[in-house]
Amino acid sequence: MQISVISFDGDMTLWDFRKVMRHSLKHTLKAIQQQVPTQRALELTVDEMIVIRNQFAEEVKGKIWNLEEIRLRAFERTLEHIGHPDTELAAYLNAMYLKHRFEDIELYPDVIPTFDVLAPHFKLGLLSNGNTYPERCGLEDRFVFVIFSQDVQVEKPDPRIFEITALQAGCELAQMLHVGDSLENDVAGAQNVGASAVWLNREGVQNNTATQPDYEVTSLTEIPIILGLERRKL
């Protein structure tokens, strides 16, 4: 069956989520150390803040879906961790974090040129387990469909989120090509429901899993070539 729809993962596929997340946490860490001038606050690190957030997210998996709420609660945990519980400060930190998280996000340079080539030929969409909505990263009007796990309360690699996506895109799963950086969430997830998958391997790391992507690329600019569109200087 011919591919007519391309769904893109967001974090680490269209933008460098890890970079903007760490950058935003650095700002909040500085604010914590200014507001709470104790030894424990001074010893706090961004890495620790990430561990605290991820532990909390694991604890509430399937119960709290909203990622901004998880982030807020993680700041509350972080303040408790340094012996300074303060929900008001946590709310302030969360607002500061989100401001940087969305204002300072940058698309990878291959995103727009690739979308420009693909858009006249395919329905493009976003399928993300994150919370960067298109209007928060300059991609408004770029997608025909947009699916976020926090809204549909099921996340990749669960087959149901791919089924919801195909329904929203108005296509059969076999007509869908999903592009993402995660072998588990994106590639195996898509293939398990009969869609095709591109593994975006920007760093050129070794695939040590049993998952075999239909295509592997190091840049999004390779996708138009895979799909048989004329090679264009990007």
> Which residues here bind Mg ion, judged by CB under 5 A?
9, 11-12, 181
Q: Which is nearer to Mg ion, 75 or 115 (CB)?
A: 115
Residue 124 token pair? 């493009």
Give backbone dihedrals phi and psi of 178, rounded to 5 degrees, phi first: -110, 135
CB of 12 to Mg ion, least distance (A): 4
Edge-to-edge strands of the sheet including 196-200? Answer: 145-148, 123-128, 5-8, 176-180, 196-200, 215-217
Q: Which is nearer to Mg ion, 18 or 40 (CB)?
A: 18
CB of 181 to Mg ion, least distance (A): 4
CB of 165 to Mg ion, least distance (A): 15
Q: Provide the 10 A C-beta neighbour count for residue 108.
A: 16
CA end-to-end distance (rounded Å), the chain: 28
Q: Which is nearer to Mg ion, 18 or 30 (CB)?
A: 18
CB of 128 to Mg ion, least distance (A): 8
Name 146's bridge partners. Answer: 126
CB of 141 to Mg ion, least distance (A): 22
Q: What dihedral angle (degrees, nearest 10) is formed by the CA atoms of 45, 156, 180, 229?
A: -160
Distance of alpha carbon 226 from alpha carbon 55, whole angstroms: 39
Q: Which is nearer to Mg ion, 6 or 82 (CB)?
A: 6
Q: Which is nearer to Mg ion, 182 or 196 (CB)?
A: 182
